Structure 1
Amino acid sequence: MTKLSVNINKIATLRNSRGGNVPNLLKVARDIQEFGGEGITVHPRPDERHIKYQDARDLKDVVITEYNIEGNPVKSFMDLVLDIKPTQVTLVPDAVDAITSNAGWDTITHQKFLQEVIQEFQQNGIRTSIFIGTDLKLMEAAAKTGTDRIELYTEHFASEFEKGNKEAVKPYTDSAILANSLGLGINAGHDLSLDNIKFFKENIPNLAEVSIGHALIAESLYLGLENVVNMYLHRLK
Structure 2
Amino acid sequence: MTKLSVNINKFATLRNARGGNLPDILKVAADCETFGADGITVHPRPDERHIRYRDVRELKPLVTTEFNIEGYPSKEFLDLVLEVKPEQCTLVPDPPGVLTSNTGWDTIQHQSFLKEVIGTLKAAGIRVSIFLNPEVDKVEGAKTAGADRIELYTGPYAEEYHNALTQPQNLALFNDYKNTAVKATEIGLDINAGHDLNLDNLRYFKLHIPQLKEVSIGHALVCDAIYFGLENTIQMYKRLLVD
TM-score over 0.5 for the pair: yes
Amino acid corresponding to residue 187 of structure 1 in structure 2: N
Amino acid corresponding to residue 223 of structure 1 in structure 2: F
CA contact under 8 A between 1:39 and 1:67: conserved in structure 2? yes
Structure 1 residue runs without a partner (length 5+): none
Aligned to 1:12: 12
Once residues 215 and 229 of structure 2 are traced to their aligned partners in structure 1, the CA distance between those partners, rounded to angstroms, is 20
Q: How does 1:49-128 map to 2 (within 5 A)?
A: 49-128=49-128
**CA offsets, 1:64-122, max 9 Å, x none?**
00000000000000000000000000000101110000110010010011001001100
TM-score, normalised to structure 1, is 0.98
Once residues 49 and 10 of structure 1 are traced to their aligned partners in structure 2, the CA distance between those partners, rounded to angstroms, is 10
CA contact under 8 A between 1:136 and 1:178: conserved in structure 2? yes
Q: CA RMSD in A?
A: 0.8
Aligned to 1:211: 216
What secondary structure, in the 3-state scheme, does the structure 1 residue paired with 2:145 have? Answer: coil
Once residues 211 and 58 of structure 1 are traced to their aligned partners in structure 2, the CA distance between those partners, rounded to angstroms, is 21
Q: How does 1:1-237 map to 2 (within 5 A)?
A: 1-164=1-164, 165-237=170-242
Once residues 167 and 31 of structure 1 are traced to their aligned partners in structure 2, the CA distance between those partners, rounded to angstroms, is 39
TM-score, normalised to structure 2, is 0.96
Amino acid corresponding to residue 45 of structure 1 in structure 2: R
What secondary structure, in the 3-state scheme, does the structure 2 residue paired with 1:177 have? Answer: helix
How much does 1:134 deviate?
1.2
Structure 2 residue runs without a partner (length 5+): 165-169
**CA offsets, 1:183-213, max 9 Å, x none?**
0010000000011111100111310000000
Once residues 153 and 234 of structure 2 are traced to their aligned partners in structure 1, the CA distance between those partners, rounded to angstroms, is 21
How much does 1:170 deviate?
1.6
What secondary structure, in the 3-state scheme, does the structure 2 residue paired with 1:179 have? Answer: helix
CA contact under 8 A between 1:173 and 1:205: conserved in structure 2? no
How much does 1:166 deviate?
3.7
- Counting aligned pairs with the same residue, the percent is 58
Once residues 205 and 179 of structure 1 are traced to their aligned partners in structure 2, the CA distance between those partners, rounded to angstroms, is 13
Amino acid corresponding to residue 75 of structure 1 in structure 2: K
How much does 1:123 deviate?
0.6
